[in-house]
Amino acid sequence: MIKLVAIDIDGTLVNEEKVVTKNVHEAIQRAIDQGVKIVLCTGRPIEGIRPYLEELGLQNEEDYVISHNGACITRTDTNEVVVDVPMKLEDIKELYEFGKNYPPDICVLNEEHFYMIFPKGTDPDIDESLIDESNTINMDLETISIEELTEESHLLKLLYFGEKEEVNVIEQALPEEYRDRFYVVRSQEYLIEVMVQNTNKGTALEKLADHLGFTMDEVMAIGDGENDYEMIEAAGLGVVMDNGTHRLKGIANEITLSNEKDGVAHAFEKWVLK
């Protein structure tokens, strides 16, 4: 019996217009009324999740959200951060030194700030697509030099952000040792995310399920992207959207409809709702 459902946001919970459809909303509310715990589990920071928490009523006692691909778990009724895994400043600097030789922009985030890093003494050229990303995650884009960052910046992940072809180039150039030392994921065509090793949606979901007293057999996870891989793998029932990646579908227990066809609602009807 499913007691906890972890749901990715982009490409899963919402359609391509970033809207939770009526059918998806109703299915989630029925599951909540049935006593099922709902946890949004996303690469977004908390500010980019908050509108959906409010819309779905997921800010009650013992409600939680997993943000930054698992680097942060927050209790939503109190905003208490129960788990966070910041990166070391020396690692941020190393990843920046590597990445500055390639076209993609380099950004870093914590729960309060979305920074684009630029060379000190230069005028940053901010691409419109990066502004669009800041709007999507509901955070102002700020600029900062690498010298201005400190350990107190408490940064949760670094991004290489650019056009698909540009990101392809830097992905191919990434030293293999980086994949051993960090969690590296191409979460979107335009985006590579780098975090502390063994920090991902799957490990965060396991921590949260244990905290709430659920076994992983009682957990369903729904996702579509490469950053959902560990979450789908960890859950007792891993459900992948029809619009999901080929690699993700390869480990799915079940496939649901696409995010344009209310795939989350379909999954709830089939495997959660009585």
Q: In this structure, what are the phi and psi dihedrals at residue 241, rounded to the nearest 5 degrees?
A: -65, 150
Phi-psi region of 167 (alpha: psi -120 to 50; beta: other; left: phi over 0): alpha
Active-site annotation holds for 8: yes
Pairing of strands 64-67, 72-75: antiparallel
The one catalytic residue among 8, 63, 105, 224: 8
Closest by Cα among 91, 86, 47, 89 to 65: 47
Report the distance separating Cα 227 and Cα 173, nearest Å: 20
Burial class from Cβ neighbours inside 10 Å (0-12, 13-18, 19+) for residue 208 reads: buried
Cα separation, 11 vs 116, whole angstroms: 25
Point out the residues that are catalytic.
8
